[in-house]
Amino acid sequence: FFKNRFTPTVLDLNTAIEDWMREKDRVLVLGGVDRYSMKLLRQQEEAERRAACAARRLERQKQLAEERAAKSAEQREVNREKRQRRDEQREAKVIARQRRRELLQQKRLAFARVKLGRLRAMVLSLQSSLQKIRREKLLRAWGVPELPEGLQLNSFQSEDDSLCVTLRLSDGTEVVGPYRKTFSEALQELQELRDLQRRKGDRVAREEMLRRDVEAMA
């Protein structure tokens, strides 16, 4: 009988349970069970059914909670990996940017060094050319390629047409002697004034230079 009544075509579990309970009541009545006993039996079965449903709900809730927890943990792990990848990418970008700046700075420094070397070479070349011109000019004008220390060129009636003596005193100041028109005259005066300064001191040498200057202007 039950085989024919409950077939796999029944889709609703609750409907199937109710049909089964009604059919069970009918069978029990036919078997001589009173209605009160049947009522108690039905209440007990209903309680058992509700308890089973509650247990299934709790189990399902527990399963859902576990799934949500697992999914949340998985999502947290995914987010952590994403953050870690972003941090690694950001750090890699920072390192690459710093490396590019360092390479650019090295290139600029190398270029600056090359440019500085060229400028130094140019300055040295200009200095050499100017020194050569100066030596040639001194040689033509005064018969010597270099002036000794203590003699300097001065302009009287034209540019660099005179020589004069310069003495450095003990206090660091310099005094300039009278203009001379020949190198030999200026050199002799330099030697005399230096000898006087060495023998009698700065004051006497200064006075002698002033005297000679006044004498040259007279």
pLDDT digits (tens, 9 = 90+) for 34-57: 566 667 777 888 888 888 888 888
**Per-residue pLDDT at 218:** 66
- Calculate mean pLDDT across residues 152-178: 82
**Per-residue pLDDT at 34:** 58
Angle, CA of 111, 113 and 114, to the nearest 5°: 65
pLDDT for 148 beyond 70: yes
- Calculate mean pLDDT across residues 189-205: 89
- The pLDDT > 90 percentage for the chain reads 17
Query: How far is Cα of residue 110 from the mean position of the Cα atoms in its chain?
Result: 19
**Per-residue pLDDT at 5:** 45
Read off the tokens for 91: 């750090």
Full-model pTM: 0.43
Q: 5-24, pLDDT tens digit by residue?
A: 444 444 456 666 666 666 66
**Per-residue pLDDT at 38:** 66
**Per-residue pLDDT at 177:** 84
